[in-house]
A and B are shown apart, each in its own frame.
Chain A
Amino acid sequence: MNFQLKFAWSDLVQGLKRLWLFCACLIFGVCLVMAAASLYQMLDRVLLSDTRALMGGDVEIESSEPIEQAVLDWLASTGDISLTRELDTMMSTQGDEFALVELLSIDNAYPLYGELTLQPEQNLSSALANDEGQWGVAVDPILAERSQLRVGDTVYIGDLELVIRALVLAQPDRRLNANWRGAPVLISEEAMNASGLLRPGSRVEYEYRIRTSEKVDTWEDNFIAQFPDTDWEIQTFKDRSRRIAERLSQIASGLLIVAFSTLFIGGLGIFNSISVYLQSKRETIATLKACGLRDAKIGQIFVVQIAILASVSGFIGVLFGSGLALIGSQVLSQDLPLVLQASDTIVAAFSAWFFGIVTAFTFALPALGRALQVDVAHLFRANNISGNTISVHWRIASYGFAIMLAILVLFAIPNVLFGLAFLVTVIICLSFFEVVVRGLRWVSRTMEQRQWLLRHAATRLALANMHRPGTPLRITLLSLGTALTLLVACTVIVFSLLRLVETTIPEESPALVLYDVLSEQKEGLHKAASQYDSVNKLTLSPNVRARVSAINGTPIRELGNDDVNWQNQARDEHKLSYLSGNIDGIKIVDGAIWDDSFSANSLANPNIDFAFIMEDREAQQMRLSPGDIVQFSLVGIERTGLLTGIYSQQGIQTRFWFEAIFSDGALDDFINAYVGTIYMDDEEALALQTQLARTYPNIITVRTKDLIDSASDLLNKGTSGLSVISAISLLVSLMVLASVMAAGRSKQSYHAIILYCIGARISYIRRAIIIEYSLLATVVSLFSIILGLIIATLVLQVRLKVFAWDIYWMGMAVACISSVIVFSLGALYLFQKLKIQPAQLLKESS
């Protein structure tokens, strides 16, 4: 091995210049995977995964009323319990400023996981204690800043006058949505009881967090078995309806798609680069064979070289990627409680580095296997006997690495199905372009014989170049076609995501969003709003809560589909409303809205009371599709509806996000409260908010301007990151593809020189090259566009739930422009070669 190592090193140092493309492909590919994986892991850790700290416990039971002592006893027997009561309410200041807050009363066990940090540093129970008749509160620093509050200031909540004793610098279970529901304000249990806010009808959420050593799934099963007919919502790992988190997740998925596509395209660059390198090493390999070195040992030399190159390039890629990830996390951390932890970076760094090495071997081994088959007779005859076959051992090794790479992709992409889809896509691309290559060869061979082409020598030469033995057509088309297909798909996906974010932040947003407007307060509200000149629209929609009790005649708890947790579905409360006045931006994605003439009496099924449409995520969770008949339990009364369509939420302007919309009249008997929006000038909105808080203290009002701005800022940063990484990816891909063209065409340049030497004019050779490249560019672009758009459509519709047909032209444009650039560079390379002294070139090439 010593000889092999020594030889590998000295040979590598001498030939390093020829391997710049190999290194560049790997560095950029690993860099993007590293950056995307780090950011994804960070987002996953903080936003998407329901970690114990974020959840506040292993399991959370949510109820609208205190749960019975018998249940509490059972819970206590399984672990530690902490109760938090949550209530959305308005807090006012001495300066008459009003703000929506999430009032939290906490017990002594809080927090079960993580640590609460207060400023000034103190014990939470002492901060919240009643000191000389005045209760204390701890408030969120963002709320304090917005409302210009400091420690020691007085605030008013319900009947209480409280003093701010601390700012909450770190709260382990503070979630992203805290910014949206209202910033958290912590008070003691006694203060909550004394606030006067706990009245019949108050929307208090009792959240029981349990810390248990049992497996969460087992715990949940035991709990449901023990208390089968309760309505409490049990949350273990789900934190649904977090629209911003969902968007960030989509962006992160987009990042990963782009990163893996870049790595794959880089892999093609690696294959071409190492093929050219090994081509130049055929003589060395044959000489070593002639000197008596065994094939396996010669293989070891080049394996060592590939390992050295891949390790070093991967390491450099990891360094660049860490820098990118650090910049990304710094930008995002201004808006989110995100800190890039060493664990995110280390895991991502090792994965990306390992990915780089496996990618390098996957793409290099087939080329190496072929090169090692070189015949020593080549040395005697100086003819071109290169290995076109690959021995069984090397073939097995190549397949082994390909499988390892596939497994790594499956592990690296968060959703296994998504990863599988990526692999299938790559295989389909390669197979598809293999067919295209064969077709093109057949067509060019057939066309060349046509009578009408006899007088078009340049065209015939161009056609002959496509099917002659040894033509680089196959590798060129497979590389370019697959890469362009991925570029088309990535472009459409990225632009769709960018557009999605753009539409998520609406151009026009309501200045005030209203919750809990009682039926009898509607008129008063209209009257109050009419006093302000800038009010141009006021909408109110009923907000009714209900549970699904049966689907297609079967009680939901008795449904047998194992992959759905029907017990949880039975406990899940849904927000229902009407279509008229509904300001959620919705889009029908399946089925349709009932038509105007809909009447339950006209249906064949006499049991159906109404028609309704449902939000896509809810429908998907319950496996519902248009035509299903769903029974709802509304305040204990059963009503049955026909599902006519599925919709997706478009924007974040109100965050009502009703989960089902019923036909007119169906909810009339159950409406107690409304939600609404007021479009008006932001300055006047402040005055109206104050007036409403005084007149109707139960109505919760939220000024949306700040929230919309911060969301917009956050998402724009996410999309900027996506745009930057996509742009880098596009540039890298173009570089790789141009190099592939140049690398695969050295033989063609030699043939062109021969033609020149035997009397062909330069213009004739150029014409033939232009015809050939134009044909190839057209074919590659056309098929890449077709396949790329199909892939993009599937990804967008199935995975990302985004629909944007009108930006598909972007993908087409990128394919055409990239194709033109790549083939033009290839042609220029050949034209350049023609300028060199033919004698010199023949000497070099022979």
Chain B
Amino acid sequence: MIQVSNLTMEYGQADSPLRVLDNLNFSMDGGDTVAIVGPSGSGKTTLLQLLAALEQPTHGSIQLDGQALSHLSPDELADFRRDNMGIVFQSFHLIDSLTALANAALPLDIAGQADSTKRAINMLERVGLKDRTTHYPQQLSGGEQQRVAIARALVHEPRLILADEPTGNLDEKTGKRVADMLFDLHAQSQSTLVLVTHDMRLAQRCKRLFWLESGKLRVEENSEFSA
């Protein structure tokens, strides 16, 4: 489903560039779960941004179902994200002027789906927040905000879910509950889940681990899944 070829990302000046990702090659299939791990500054978030088509690589290409993302215009990329991706951020990034329900319905509303409210209520019910639909983000706890963010990321049934440290801002107990929910919801879909994390317990719940160090990628199959 996702095919990454010769992916290289450099920052800085042309004569002395800083190479953050160095010639990565990998692929992911529908239903895959992938954890991107590595020390700070290793390029984890950069790789996630490239997969989300929020950055253009210096070299190489990313293809989703044969569609090269680099060939799309900014507007086509926006539409592509709207239809195919759901992103969960470490800091939740809910829109504080919208209720939990409106936040969860956002991708459907943007796509002009008529049944957005019904589907968003259903999604909030699945994340255990049916009684919080009219609450604003500032009236919710951190865990509840992240659950709304997950509902928003999954409500339109995307093919690719990208999560950046989804439990990074939560305490251990809440983080575990949120992670359980994320994996449960993913299991009910055929989407690909890619998450960036420092938490090895969370990483170990994925089928594959992408180790990044000094821009180089090492792919490790999770033995628990292969067993």
Residues of A within 8 A of B (CB): 2-3, 6-7, 10-11, 13-15, 283-284, 286-297, 375-377, 379-382
Question: What is the CA–CA distance of A375 and B89 in the complex, to the nearest angstrom?
Answer: 15
Residues of B within 8 A of A (CB): 45, 48-49, 52, 54-55, 74-75, 78-83, 85, 87, 89-91, 93-98, 102, 106-107, 109-112, 136, 152, 164
B3 CB to nearest chain A CB (Å): 22
Given contacts A381-B45, A382-B91, contact A292 B81 (CB under 8 A): yes
Q: Is the CB of B81 within 8 A of A290?
A: yes
The secondary structure that dominates the A interface is: helix
Contacts of A288 in B (CB 8 A): 95, 106, 110
Nearest A residue to B136 via CB reads: A14
Interface centre among A11, A295, A376 (most CB of B within 10 A): A376
Contacts of B96 in A (CB 8 A): 14, 284
Tell which of B75, B94, B102, B136 touches A295, judged by Cβ atoms closer than 8 Å: B75
Contacts of A381 in B (CB 8 A): 45
Given contacts A14-B96, A15-B97, contact A377 B54 (CB under 8 A): yes
B150 CB to nearest chain A CB (Å): 14
Query: Could you list 17 further interchain pairs (A-B, Cβ under 8 angstroms) beyond the known A2-B112, A291-B106, A294-B75?
Result: A3-B110, A3-B112, A10-B97, A11-B98, A14-B96, A288-B106, A289-B78, A290-B89, A293-B110, A294-B74, A295-B74, A376-B54, A379-B93, A380-B49, A380-B90, A380-B164, A382-B91
Q: List 12 A-B contacts (CB under 8 A).
A: A11-B97, A286-B93, A288-B110, A289-B78, A291-B81, A291-B82, A292-B80, A293-B82, A293-B110, A295-B75, A375-B54, A379-B93
Contacts of B75 in A (CB 8 A): 294-296
Question: What is the CA–CA distance of A289 and B55 in the complex, to the nearest angstrom?
Answer: 13
Question: What is the CA–CA distance of A288 and B96 in the complex, to the nearest angstrom?
Answer: 12
Q: Is the CB of A292 within 8 A of B83?
A: yes
Contacts of A3 in B (CB 8 A): 109-110, 112
Question: What is the CA–CA distance of A304 and B87 in the complex, to the nearest angstrom?
Answer: 27
Interface contact tally, CB-CB below 8 A: 84
A662 CB to nearest chain B CB (Å): 78
Q: Is the CB of B52 within 8 A of A290?
A: yes
Given contacts A3-B112, A11-B98, A376-B54, contact A294 B79 (CB under 8 A): yes
Question: What is the CA–CA distance of A380 and B44 in the complex, to the nearest angstrom?
Answer: 11
Q: Is the CB of B107 within 8 A of A380?
A: no
A291 CB to nearest chain B CB (Å): 5
Q: Is the CB of A377 within 8 A of B97?
A: no
Tell which of A10, A15, A290 touches B54, judged by Cβ atoms closer than 8 Å: A290
B11 CB to nearest chain A CB (Å): 11
Tell which of B80, B89, B111 touches A379, judged by Cβ atoms closer than 8 Å: B89
B53 CB to nearest chain A CB (Å): 10
B89 CB to nearest chain A CB (Å): 5
Question: What is the CA–CA distance of A10 and B111 in the complex, to the nearest angstrom?
Answer: 18
Question: What is the CA–CA distance of A294 and B111 in the complex, to the nearest angstrom?
Answer: 11
Contacts of B49 in A (CB 8 A): 376-377, 380
Interface centre among A3, A10, A377 (most CB of B within 10 A): A3
Q: Report the 9 A-B pairs with minimum CB-CB distance, sorted nearest first.
A: A292-B82, A14-B97, A292-B81, A11-B97, A294-B78, A376-B54, A287-B93, A3-B109, A293-B110
Contacts of A377 in B (CB 8 A): 49, 54-55
Q: Is the CB of B95 within 8 A of A292?
A: no
Contacts of A14 in B (CB 8 A): 96-97, 136
Interface centre among A290, A291, A376, A377 (most CB of B within 10 A): A291
Contacts of B74 in A (CB 8 A): 294-295
Interface centre among B85, B93, B96, B109 (most CB of A within 10 A): B93
Contacts of A292 in B (CB 8 A): 78-83, 85, 107, 110-111
Interface centre among B49, B52, B78, B83 (most CB of A within 10 A): B78
Question: What is the CA–CA distance of A291 and B45 in the complex, to the nearest angstrom?
Answer: 17
Contacts of B45 in A (CB 8 A): 380-381
Contacts of B48 in A (CB 8 A): 380
Question: What is the CA–CA distance of A381 and B48 in the complex, to the nearest angstrom?
Answer: 12
Question: What is the CA–CA distance of A6 and B112 in the complex, to the nearest angstrom?
Answer: 12
Question: What is the CA–CA distance of A189 and B106 in the complex, to the nearest angstrom?
Answer: 85
Question: What is the CA–CA distance of A376 and B97 in the complex, to the nearest angstrom?
Answer: 19
Interface centre among A289, A290, A295 (most CB of B within 10 A): A290
Given contacts A283-B93, A284-B95, A379-B89, contact A291 B152 (CB under 8 A): yes
Nearest A residue to B80 via CB reads: A292
Q: Is the CB of B102 within 8 A of A10?
A: yes
A758 CB to nearest chain B CB (Å): 23
Q: Is the CB of B78 within 8 A of A293?
A: yes
A528 CB to nearest chain B CB (Å): 87
Contacts of B90 in A (CB 8 A): 380, 382
Contacts of B106 in A (CB 8 A): 288, 291
Nearest A residue to B75 via CB reads: A294
Nearest B residue to A298 via CB reads: B78
Contacts of B82 in A (CB 8 A): 291-293
Contacts of B80 in A (CB 8 A): 292
Question: What is the CA–CA distance of A109 and B200 in the complex, to the nearest angstrom?
Answer: 104
Contacts of B52 in A (CB 8 A): 290, 376
Question: What is the CA–CA distance of A289 and B106 in the complex, to the nearest angstrom?
Answer: 11
Q: Is the CB of B81 within 8 A of A284?
A: no
A600 CB to nearest chain B CB (Å): 83
Given contacts A292-B81, A294-B75, A295-B78, contact A10 B93 (CB under 8 A): no
Question: What is the CA–CA distance of A291 and B102 in the complex, to the nearest angstrom?
Answer: 13
Nearest A residue to B77 via CB reads: A292
B64 CB to nearest chain A CB (Å): 14
Question: What is the CA–CA distance of A283 and B89 in the complex, to the nearest angstrom?
Answer: 12
Question: What is the CA–CA distance of A2 and B52 in the complex, to the nearest angstrom?
Answer: 27
